[in-house]
Amino acid sequence: MNRKHFITSASVLLTSAALPLKTEGNEIETASVFPAYLKKGDTIGITAPAGYITLEEIQPAIKLMETWGFKIKVGDTIGKKDFTFGGSDEERLNDFQHLLDDRFTKAIMCARGGYGAVRIIDKLNWAKFRTKPKWIIGFSDITVFHSHLHKNFRIASIHAKMCNSFPVDWNLAEPIQVETIESIQKALSGEKMEYSTTSNENNKPGIAAGVLVGGNLKTLESLAGSPSDINTTGKILFVEDTGEYLYSIDRMFWNLKRSGKLSKLKGLIVGGFKIKTEADTEDFGKTLEQIVLEKVINYKYPVCFDFPVGHQKNNFALKCGVKHKLIVNQNECILKEIR
Amino acid sequence: MIKTPPFLSPGDTIGLVCPAGSMPVEKVSECIRVLNEDWGYTTKAGDTIGKQFNYFSGTDEDRLADFQKMLDDDEVKAILCARGGYGLTRIIDKIDFTKFKKNPKWIIGFSDITILHAHIYRNLYISTLHAPMANAFNKGEYKNEFVQSLRNALEGKKLKYQCAPHEFNKKGEGIGELVGGNLSLLVHLTGTDSDMKTKGRILFLEDVGEYLYNIDRMMRQLQRSGKLDKLAGLIIGGFTDCKDTENPFAQTAYEIIRDVIKEYDYPVCFGFPVSHEKENYALKTGVGYKLKVSKSKVILEE
């Protein structure tokens, strides 16, 4: 087969993978596109698309990922600082774009979250990335990328800890740190993911299968109405958040509910929520669990709490845009990737 | 054209409720006294005035029932929400507007009450009043021009406001229906049945106590959801008591907003007296206004 012909047939294959499978309303549901899994010797690029971070702070992550057999490419934004940002909008955009387009970079790990991804997301050129997707890794503010990639391209990504969560001394790391950080390696290497957690008495039992989407609740709410707004129909949705008041968490779940994002789920996974309190205000009068359960009282899908995802040590790598099975029963909650 | 509830005549009844946060009776009493003695109205205090249930003025059921009663009471010609707080989003979908739609009455308030303004404008196309609430009447402040502007609005006087220029203002003239309110609540309503349309309208925004980075994020959400590009004009009110993170954001709220809207050529004014502070003129949601921003002044008139 000559090369030209090969390219044509390959592109036909690519296109067919993204063909609509079913249509619901105006939303075209297409199969997920998986970036290639990483092999030893592959390169992971590190960039700071939101908050700033020093080169020193990412050293533990570099060292550990090198022991996994990967090469590390440090982006220009590492060590850059423009007040709260890892460089100006232009610098962060250029660095991310460079890693997106660099054919040697097989995955992009965001060094940290913070705030800033939404300021550059519309200016990124995804053309090259779409023809040759790569894994984008991170959480919190990086939810902007997960949501944008799923909404616009159905390209899978990895919701996981970032460079700022790697312990300085790996030998002194707690078992949960080791396990969660090694889950990033597993996800990148193509291992089928599986998680289990003990049951919370408020869980709603059931079994569901669907594509996993989600991330930071506040960030998801801030994308409502935008071109990165997530479609949750038929999906398993996971949410987590930190530093929010209960009233604000309540308000965000109302936004999900009132914008129709809860009514057609297959399952709901509630991760860690660090709740902000103020000494001189009245009690909200409802727990996190009550806030969530009252919104989903009319739906039959399974709901689990305390899932190990969030701004906490217990934060496993999750593949967004990938089909999973969720099993919630009296003893435990299991989430596993299905192919 | 938008439906306008009848203006009030002396002796008409104003109902007072707390549909969100709670307010002690002693903080509402001056407002009630002024409405009765100075403005010549009759008042009816709802069951939620002076009540408290955790974070709220009552359970969802209590707050809903109280608001619904005022909405359906033929005697009540206007409903003044005594305060905001948090809570309307929990009951908005359960309010029955059938009777209100036939016999509209003025609904008054701001902050959390933005939800009522947005919802009623979007679904019923009836004008409401974004205006000072009970606390603004206290400490003799009921005499100020801002509280008085509510009285003028209720009496049916055409509203015309003028304020000083600001260095970030963008000159021009725009005509359109006036919509807006609290920025946090407007973005919170995105994608819901209460979501406000802004195309061809004059949009006004205010907020209090928000982190600067979050103001940036909210402005970008408005922008990315298409709510900023086709305005007839933009009015930026107070963004007071802003908070900052450990690493400073390095821009003021007004600088953030100026940068987000720099590509648009409609008139924009900053520092308009609509805010969580004393400076808070009564504005009729949905009514046609003209915004004129010139070098020397800003005029907003019906």
If asked whether residues B85 and B31 sit together in one domain, one would say yes
If asked whether residues A167 and A240 sit together in one domain, one would say no
Closest-CA residue in chain B for A252? B188
Rounded to 5°, the CA angle A253-A255-A258 comes to 110
Residue A4 domain flag: no
Asked if B241 is an interface residue toward chain A (Cβ–Cβ < 8 A), one would say: no
Q: Give pLDDT tens digits for B231-288.
A: 999 999 999 999 999 889 999 999 999 999 999 999 999 999 999 999 999 999 999 9
Rounded to 5°, the CA angle A226-A232-A234 comes to 150
If asked whether residues A181 and A93 sit together in one domain, one would say yes
If asked whether residues A251 and A272 sit together in one domain, one would say yes
Closest-CA residue in chain B for A86? B247
Sign of the alpha-carbon dihedral angle for B279, B283, B285, B291: negative
3-state SS, residue B89: helix
Which among A115, A261, A283 is the nearest to B55, CB-wise?
Answer: A283
Asked if B61 is an interface residue toward chain A (Cβ–Cβ < 8 A), one would say: no
If asked whether residues A89 and A154 sit together in one domain, one would say yes
Residue A126 domain flag: yes
Rounded to 5°, the CA angle B88-B91-B96 comes to 115
**Is the per-residue pLDDT at B214 higher than 70?**
yes
If asked whether residues A248 and A113 sit together in one domain, one would say no
Residue B283 domain flag: yes
CB atoms within 10 A of CB A5: 9
Residue A34 domain flag: no
Closest to B137 in 3D by CA, of B57, B236, B238, B23:
B23
Q: Give pLDDT tens digits for B15-24.
A: 999 999 999 9
Give the residues of chain A that fall short of pLDDT 70: 1-29
Domain count, chain B: 2
If asked whether residues A137 and A107 sit together in one domain, one would say yes
Contacts of B215 in chain A (CB under 8 A): none
Domain boundary among A189, A216, A250: A189
Contacts of A84 in chain B (CB under 8 A): 213, 245, 247-250
If asked whether residues A66 and A166 sit together in one domain, one would say yes
Domain boundary among A189, A219, A249: A189
Domain boundary among B108, B132, B154: B154
If asked whether residues B137 and B178 sit together in one domain, one would say no
Asked if B252 is an interface residue toward chain A (Cβ–Cβ < 8 A), one would say: no
Contacts of B218 in chain A (CB under 8 A): 222
Domain boundary among B154, B177, B208: B154
Residue A180 domain flag: yes
Domain boundary among B154, B183, B214: B154
If asked whether residues A79 and A48 sit together in one domain, one would say yes
- B7 burial via Cβ count (<10 Å: 0-12, 13-18, 19+): middle
Q: How confident is the model at residue B56 (pLDDT cuts 50, 70, 90)?
A: very high
Exposure string for B22-35, b = 16+ CB within 10 A, e = fewer: bbeeebbbbbbebb
Q: How confident is the model at residue B291 (pLDDT cuts 50, 70, 90)?
A: very high
**Is the per-residue pLDDT at B226 higher than 70?**
yes
If asked whether residues B98 and B70 sit together in one domain, one would say yes
Closest-CA residue in chain A for B189? A255
Residue A11 pLDDT? 41
If asked whether residues A181 and A203 sit together in one domain, one would say no
If asked whether residues A145 and A206 sit together in one domain, one would say no
If asked whether residues B27 and B125 sit together in one domain, one would say yes
- pTM for the full predicted model: 0.94
If asked whether residues B140 and B234 sit together in one domain, one would say no
Residue A28 domain flag: no
Residue A236 domain flag: yes
- B106-109 and A27-30 as β-strands: parallel, antiparallel, unpaired? unpaired
Domain count, chain A: 2
Q: How confident is the model at residue B35 (pLDDT cuts 50, 70, 90)?
A: very high
CA distance A199 to chain B (A): 29
- Count interface pairs A-B at CB distance under 8 A: 94
Which among B53, B192, B218 is the nearest to A259, CB-wise?
Answer: B192
Structure tokens at B10: 């002396």
Residue A33 domain flag: no
Write down the mean pLDDT value for chain B. Answer: 97
Which among A224, A226, A254 is the nearest to B89, CB-wise?
Answer: A254
Range of the domain at B41: 13-154
If asked whether residues A332 and A201 sit together in one domain, one would say yes
If asked whether residues B216 and B112 sit together in one domain, one would say no
- A277 burial via Cβ count (<10 Å: 0-12, 13-18, 19+): exposed
Range of the domain at A329: 194-337
Residue A29 pLDDT? 60
Domain boundary among A128, A155, A189: A189
CB contact under 8 A, B217 and A118: yes
CB contact under 8 A, A226 and B249: no
Instruction: Give mean pLDDT, residues B32-57.
Output: 97
CATH classification of the domain holding A298? 3.50.30.60
CATH classification of the domain holding A69? 3.40.50.10740
